[in-house]
Amino acid sequence: ETGVTQTPRHLVMGMTNKKSLKCEQHLGHNAMYWYKQSAKKPLELMFVYSLEERVENNSVPSRFSPECPNSSHLFLHLHTLQPEDSALYLCASSQDEPGRGYTFGSGTRLTVV
Amino acid sequence: TQLLEQSPQFLSIQEGENLTVYCNSSSVFSSLQWYRQEPGEGPVLLVTVVTGGEVKKLKRLTFQFGDARKDSSLHITAAQPGDTGLYLCAGVRGTASKLTFGTGTRLQVTL
């Protein structure tokens, strides 16, 4: 399988639940990203991993916890989320070089009830 | 945060019409990319422009990078329903690889 694969595609969770989003890339890229896409807002960068090290954390609440066990896999662990966290969560990968394009997954549509 | 403002926010046109989408910033970018996102999918890279004044064509789509590298435009000729989607510009500053995304333009092309 090629490209960036995200699972699950849809997730409904209660505010007290713990769940994880998974992202996998088979492109040989060395950087991976989590973005949040809400209605009427630009794409918000959450976390950046380069060579499996977290290089950026954009003031994201601690109820979101990323994990990058190797260069092909990225997780976003979720716990005690709020309804306003409902959004499309997009994973992307790229070569960590200026001007290189990102390859995005199809996203996980998260609904917090 | 270096904001990239896109205009218009929404555009609904009929098949065969031409349109232009704008991406503007007060900051200089070393390169700028355009993506298209269809419902239920992630954004897909269309083009990267690097040089001020650069023009790139992708079939019916023409992309231009401003001379000062602060703005860009996307022109679509003879729009088709398959062009429907959210168009996003994204800029890179300096030697960083991190992208800053624009506010997006949602295009609807009807028969």
Give the residue-averaged pLDDT of A83-94.
96
Give me the pLDDT at residue A56, please.
Answer: 74
Cα–Cα distance list, B87 to A12, A58, B4, B11, B64 (Å)? 28, 24, 13, 11, 15
Asked whether the predicted pLDDT for residue B97 surpasses 80, the reply is no
Give me the pLDDT at residue A2, please.
Answer: 64
Taking a C-beta distance cutoff of 8 angstroms, is the pair B61, B21 a contact?
no
Chain B residues within 8 A of A23 when measuring between CB atoms: none
pLDDT tens column, A29-82: 999 999 999 987 889 999 999 887 887 777 899 999 999 999 999 999 999 999
Q: Distance from B105 to chain A by nearest Cα, in Å?
A: 10
Instruction: Report the residue of chain A nearest B3, measured CA to CA.
Output: A42
pLDDT band, very low/low/confident/very high, at B95 (cuts 50, 70, 90):
low
Give me the pLDDT at residue B60, please.
Answer: 97
Q: Give dist(CA A18, CA A5) in Å, integer.
A: 21
pLDDT tens column, B49-90: 999 999 999 999 999 999 999 999 999 999 999 999 999 999
Q: Give dist(CA B88, CA A4) in Å, integer.
A: 19
Contact B98 A102 (CB under 8 A): no
Asked whether the predicted pLDDT for residue A88 surpasses 60, the reply is yes
Of B42, B50, B104, the CB nearest to A99: B50
Helices (H) then strands (E): counts for chain A: 0, 11
Contact A42 B103 (CB under 8 A): yes
Q: Are strands B61-65 and B55-58 parallel, antiparallel or unpaired?
A: antiparallel
pLDDT band, very low/low/confident/very high, at A93 (cuts 50, 70, 90):
very high
Contact B92 A102 (CB under 8 A): no
Q: Which of A39-43, B47-51, B91-95, B97-101 has the highest mean pLDDT?
A: B47-51
The type of residue at B63 is F
> Is residue A52 within 8 angstroms of chain B, CB to CB?
no
Dig out the tokens for B48 from the structure. 């990267």
For residue A79, the number of C-alpha atoms closer than 13 Å in the C-beta half-sphere is: 6
